[in-house]
Amino acid sequence: MIGVFDSGHGGLTVLRALVAAAPGRPFVYLGDHAAAPYGPRSEEDIYRLTVQGVERLFAQGCGLVVLACNTAAAVALRRMQRTWLPVAHPGRNVLGVLVPMVEAITRVPWMQDGPAADWRPEPRTVGVFATPATVASGSFPREIGKRAPDVQVVQQACPDLVPLIERGAGDAELAPAVRGYVRALLAQLDGRPLDAAVLGCTHYPLVAHLFAEALPPGVEVLCQPSLVARSLDNYLERHPEYVPAAGEAAGRLHFFTTGAAEPVGALAGRFFGRPTPFERLSP
């Protein structure tokens, strides 16, 4: 089975795309709702909680886990891959949602820490809307800058969006918040044009239409779920050892939370597109 981990509901937008791309593939989802949101937490807290969540998914029989949380991926992924996994869980792996977005923007594979040999400058300005922790980590500008030095990255933290979305706020309440964050990012550009906007949180696909309305005409809005689904398919082609065995709970979906199952499940359908029966997973 393949695990999908998030601090809350947002990763369900990624899981929805993964299931649509491969409906016969078994997945286990874990939302760390008891500790959410991760955005305001320290880097050490985020790393510790992410490791705990991945451990729980490994204990459920997952050999591969996707961090469907930009905050967790930005803060914890590289450290986990380099220092924790080789020692604690050799033969298992963890991927993150930040990787496919960086590859899509730069057109350079993640494992390549510099521009491609045939790379030609393509000056562009990309805006990143994300949680405070993702912005503070500097992961998007750092990883994009390594691979495409001529791409200027401007970031804008959006601290209110996840809490608003999680409590089921409607467009009337969400639209002013989105417009405010867009104005703040555009102000950083001082009149320079914006080419693309990255929605760097897996909650934000639910408000992509509001970003599209608030941004200047012609700005490309980049969402992660479809990019992650395509990236996972490519990864499994290169690493068949992580492909679930034939007949291994084909198409089964398990939904776990560290919080209270009933209220989590009640809101989850908005993210996943259909009812999702959650179970509480005790430590």
Catalytic residue (one of 62, 158, 201, 223): 201
Q: What percent of the chain has pLDDT over 90?
A: 66
pLDDT of residue 283: 63
Closest CA to 143 of 103, 191, 194, 94: 103
pLDDT at 119 over 80: no
pLDDT at 120 over 90: no
pTM for the model stands at: 0.86
Binding-site annotation, residues for substrate = 6-7, 38-39, 70-71, 202-203
pLDDT at 145 over 70: yes
The full DSSP string for 59-74 is HTT-SEEEE--HHHHH
- Given pLDDT bands bounded at 50, 70 and 90, which one contains residue 104? confident
pLDDT of residue 37: 85
Neighbouring C-beta atoms of residue 116, cutoff 10 Å: 13
pLDDT at 80 over 90: yes
The full DSSP string for 100-164 is HHHHHHH-S-TT--S--TT-----EEEEEEE-HHHHHHTHHHHHHHHH-TTEEEEEEE-TTHHHH
pLDDT of residue 167: 82
| pLDDT top residue among 108 and 235 | 235
The question of whether 62 is a catalytic residue gets the answer no
- Digit-coded pLDDT (tens) for 62-79: 999 999 998 999 899 999
- Residue found under tokens 């510099």: 114
Neighbouring C-beta atoms of residue 233, cutoff 10 Å: 13
User: What is the phi-psi region of residue 53: left when phi exceeds 0, alpha when psi lies from -120 to 50, beta otherwise?
Assistant: alpha
Residues, the chain: 283
Largest CA distance in the chain: 56
Q: Are strands 151-157 and 64-67 parallel, antiparallel or unpaired?
A: unpaired
Q: What gap in Å lies between CA 67 and CA 76, rounded to an integer? A: 9
| pLDDT top residue among 23 and 246 | 23
Beta carbons of 81 and 33 less than 8 angstroms apart: no
Please give the structure tokens belonging to residue 47.
């790393």
Q: What percent of the chain has pLDDT over 70?
A: 92
Domains annotated for the chain, with CATH where assigned, are 2-98+225-280 (3.40.50.1860), 100-222 (3.40.50.1860)
Q: What is the mean pLDDT of the chain?
A: 90
Closest CA to 8 of 29, 51, 37, 28: 37
pLDDT at 154 over 90: yes
- Given pLDDT bands bounded at 50, 70 and 90, which one contains residue 114? low
Helix pair 11-21, 261-272: axis angle to 10 deg = 60
- Given pLDDT bands bounded at 50, 70 and 90, which one contains residue 111? low
- Given pLDDT bands bounded at 50, 70 and 90, which one contains residue 117? low
Catalytic residue (one of 62, 69, 158, 223): 69
Beta carbons of 164 and 172 less than 8 angstroms apart: no
Mean pLDDT of 123-146: 90
